[in-house]
Structure 1
Amino acid sequence: MIRNRKYIAGLLFVLVFLGKAVSFANEEDSIYTVHPPQLSVPSGKPGEIRRIIMQFHYWTLICDENKTVKQGICNVTQTIYNDKEGNKVFSWSLVSTKGGQPVMLLRTLPNANTNVPIQVFMEGVKKPLLISYKQCNKEICLAQYPIGPVLMEQISKSSNVRISYQLKEGKTLSFVTPFKGLSEALFSLQ
């Protein structure tokens, strides 16, 4: 009986939102692909910092442990490259603030139009997240967004999202990227 209720509730949920949400099912072949991040050696005295790297589908967990003070810092990162030129066009990381709050840290090209927010379209959600830029330098532009219930649901469902941002010359970069692997990476930290 309970199983039938779950089935009926799930079917009703799908029917209610059918046609009212963003879908990525009919996407054309993209020129953008997910790649593991390029890594560097952690700073510090030789042997002081231990770096652990684990791949979870499309996400990479990177943890640096200071063996002297027995303190670790981790982040989970995904990087998007343009297949035609092989250039990194976007990356984002799930990090924790000093206060312990989880946030997504987004990195775009340095010539991003910072007057136009980054848009994150999610399956089953009508309106995109609009994420304002925090700062830019000659290498990257940074934006930050707190992890709330909507993003947590998308992460737990391993959903695909479309990310779009505009360059100063007017061109818009837009690509679909998966959350698949992010929840597993977070679970591994427990």
Structure 2
Amino acid sequence: MIIAKMIIILKKRNMLVKILFALALIGKGESFANENNSIYTIHPPHLSIPRGEPGETRRIIMQFYDWTLICDEKQKLKLKQGICNVTQTVHDQEGNTIFSWSLVSTTNGQAVMLLRTLPNSDINVPIQMFVKGEKKPVLIHYTQCNETVCLAQSPVGPVLTKQIEQDNKVRISYKLKDGKVFSFTVPFKGLNAALNSLRP
């Protein structure tokens, strides 16, 4: 199980996963085959220099297909504590980030997917995640918005666990206040491998 795996991995490494997450897809219809994703591309997240004193934080970056694992370790602590993000971002044709999401573990050990969408998202309309084999989309409700981003999250239950373990694709869809809808597919391939790499 993905949830059990994350809890074991993160506890053994004393790691808390930080949320960087994101804006995404939206779609009409149940078939992935008819979608045109040519205007949307997946890129590694934009990175900044770790805060703190020179040499205080060591940053490790590893690419797993379309997922990026970023871990920051405080070097001066006796028990080095790592903060990790496993993140995927989506750009539009102009190179703007329209979606980004991460698999994270909360402080109580629950695995969740964190999503970040554009600040002008219609928060009255939940984000929809279309999963192969499921007739109805998974509805993901927004938790908060500000002038730069809207956030949403979804627990990693049996349905998502299966998709992650099988390296499947899902389609995400969300609506803006002006009525525009973003719709495209994103792959889970690489996410499970990123989690396995955290094993001690």
Range class of TM-score, shorter chain? 0.7 to 0.9
Q: Distance in 2 between matches of 1:26 and 1:168?
A: 26
Q: Report the RMSD for the aligned CA atoms in angstroms.
A: 1.3
In structure 1, the partner of 2:122 is: 113
What's the CA shift for 1:27?
2.8
What's the CA shift for 1:26?
3.5
| Aligned partner of residue 50 in structure 2, secondary structure | coil
What's the CA shift for 1:146?
1.1
Matched-pair contact (CA < 8 Å) for 1:66–1:72: yes
Q: Distance in 1 between matches of 2:154 and 2:50?
A: 26
1:62-81 equivalence runs, <5 A: 62-69=70-77, 70-81=80-91
| Aligned partner of residue 119 in structure 1, secondary structure | strand
Gaps of 5+ in 1: 1-20
Structure with higher Rg: it is 1
Greater RCO (CA < 8 Å, at least 6 residues apart): 2
Matched-pair contact (CA < 8 Å) for 2:171–2:184: yes
What's the CA shift for 1:100?
1.9
Deviations 1:147-173 (A, max 9, x none): 111101000111111110000001111
Q: Distance in 2 between matches of 1:179 and 1:173?
A: 19
| Aligned partner of residue 134 in structure 1, secondary structure | strand
Aligned match for 1:133, one of 131, 142, 149: 142
In structure 1, the partner of 2:169 is: 160
1:44 is aligned to 2:44: no
What's the CA shift for 1:145?
0.9
1:1-190 equivalence runs, <5 A: 22-69=30-77, 70-83=80-93, 85-190=94-199
TM-score (norm 2): 0.81
Fraction of identical pairs, as percent: 66
Gaps of 5+ in 2: 1-28
Amino acid at match of 2:118: L
